[in-house]
Amino acid sequence: MASYDVIIIGSGPGGYVGAIRCAQLGLKTAVVEGRETLGGTCLNIGCIPSKALLHSTELLHETEHNFEKMGLKVASPKVDWKQMQAYKDDVIGQNTKGVEFLFKKNKIDWLKGWGSIPEAGKVKVGDEVHEAKHIVVASGSEPSALPGVEVDEKIVVTSEGALALGKIPKTMVVIGAGVIGLELGSVYARLGTKVTVVEYMETITPGMDAEVQRQFQKILKKQGLEFILGAAVEGVETTKTKAKVSYKLKKDDSEASLDADIVLVSTGRKPYTDGLGLDALGVKVSDRGQIEVDGHYRTNIDGIYAIGDCIAGPMLAHKAEDEGMAVAEGIAGQHPHVNYDVIPGVIYTHPEVASVGKTEAELKEAGHAYRKGSFQFMGNGRARANFAADGFVKILADKETDRILGAHIIGPMAGDLIHEICVAMEFGAAAEDLARTCHAHPTYSEAVREAALAASGMGAIHA
Ligand code: NAI
């Protein structure tokens, strides 16, 4: 038995970042992780491996579609699926080992095994019970089940199975036009799979800016994805090699079905708290399964905290990381703050989609008067040179004060471009502040400045 200041359960982005911050602040820290490698869903079966497949298939697309135009002659590219998987696994390995290295560097103990909390102040891992003044639950999330659909991770898969298919399927049905469905759907579409996305709502990526949704769907259609919207999936039947997805169209209650080699179920995730013993401890959990915490990530039980996907808020690695740092700083007696109004969301398709702050629909509903400035990447020289001129930047600013309220980007490197707007928002900047900041030419970020020029009322130059 060992005694710690802090034991964190889970080594995903929330847990491992929190542990490093704890150690930096002089707290004796351990992390419980039952997986063979550190890094949680994000590094092992989520963000990182999916980015490897996105990157390789985007380059495939570039080779097939734009090389000739640029005067680059190459023999037609072939996909070596085994090698692509090996590349992905190598990327996972580099990242998970990186976390292991950071643990050693910061003298953080890895308690290998699945943890539970028999009582406040104690964490059980295997047969050993360790003591900790503070216990942080960072146990993450798992795919939520869809009634009538049984996942076998072979034919009916979640994102985990979809990242490691034995071969490239000829046909795939994606259930849910959310982040996972569109990222992985577009990977397989680029590999030649016929991908059909079935979505319950009338739009893809529900909740996102409406103009972005429309343009995004158009672009994905051009990439070969087909959409059946307003359709509730009611069940999936499988044979040894195929699946049949039945759905009901909401507009007229008519029923139909689709056959596919692979079905990807991407209809959301739910907190993963199995086996922790929260019930017995009396830790309050909402009816959605989220652990309830106060502004300092404290549960109702003294000395037990929770962060990341297992509490309320967007299920995003970077949100968990921020909470990991904040919980550590709070335990160390500091006064941290996470600004939930400025958490960017990014979809890593090609082009990327990124947003921060309010959408127009949210501002309208709140009766908040705003001005909007948009700029099409078509007017950006760098984007045209790089075959990346699809999309736009939109900035929303308060009508009276010009303070930036939100931004929505679809286009090249949107996931990176969004951050200058996030920083501006953190500093309470006006659109004019961004507009008057010199932006290097020729860069994609000039499109952000142009949108800011438009939003501030000064007027975009290249529109
Ligand atoms: P999601 O919540 O993004 O999308 C689920 C979609 O499924 C919704 O559009 C919903 O309307 C639809 N749906 C639900 N039930 C349905 C039914 N019976 N028939 C048809 N459609 C149905 O969930 P997703 O894509 O599974 O992602 C899970 C979580 O992981 C999200 O919270 C997401 O933020 C996170 N994530 C984030 C990534 C990123 O930041 N790039 C990448 C991957 C995941």
Asked if 213 and 204 count as a contact pair (C-beta separation under 8 A), the reply is yes
The pLDDT assigned to 425 comes to 98
SS3 419: helix
Put the strands of the sheet holding 255-260 in their side by side order: 231-238, 243-249, 255-260
Ligand 1: distance of its center to the CA of 61 in Å?
Answer: 25
3-state SS of the chain: helix, strand, coil percent to 5?
Answer: 35, 25, 40
Backbone angles phi, psi at 105, to 5 degrees: -60, -35
Catalytic residues: 441
> Of 44, 144, 149, 179, which is best to mutate to test ligand 1, by the most ligand atoms within 8 angstroms of its C-beta?
179
Ligand 1: distance of its center to the CA of 205 in Å?
Answer: 8
The pLDDT assigned to 91 comes to 98
- What is the rounded CA–CA span in Å between residue 426 and residue 404? 10
Q: By C-alpha distance, which of 160, 141, 351, 142 is closest to 262? A: 160
Ligand 1: distance of its center to the CA of 91 in Å?
Answer: 24
Please classify residue 198 by burial: count the beta carbons closer than 10 Å to its beta carbon, then call 0-12 exposed, 13-18 middle and 19+ buried: buried
Residue located nearest, by CA, to atom 44 of ligand 1: 180
Ligand 1: distance of its center to the CA of 313 in Å?
Answer: 14
Strand residues in 65-140 grouped as ranges (E)? 109-112, 115-119, 122-125, 128-137
The pLDDT assigned to 142 comes to 98
The pLDDT assigned to 1 comes to 76
Q: By C-alpha distance, which of 389, 386, 388 is closest to 378? A: 389
- What is the rounded CA–CA span in Å between residue 375 and residue 124? 55
> Of 51, 213, 267, 355, which is best to mutate to test ligand 1, by the most ligand atoms within 8 angstroms of its C-beta?
267
Q: Which residues of the chain have pLDDT under 50?
A: none
Q: Is the CB of 315 under 6 A from ligand 1?
A: yes
State the chain's maximal CA–CA distance in angstroms: 68
> Of 42, 54, 182, 200, which is best to mutate to test ligand 1, by the most ligand atoms within 8 angstroms of its C-beta?
200
Backbone angles phi, psi at 49, to 5 degrees: -60, -35
Cα angle for residues 79, 205, 314 (degrees, 5° grid): 100
Q: Is the CB of 293 under 6 A from ligand 1?
A: no
Q: Is the CB of 54 under 6 A from ligand 1?
A: no
Query: What's the one-letter identity of residue 42?
Result: C
Q: Is the CB of 204 under 6 A from ligand 1?
A: no
Ligand 1: distance of its center to the CA of 463 in Å?
Answer: 35
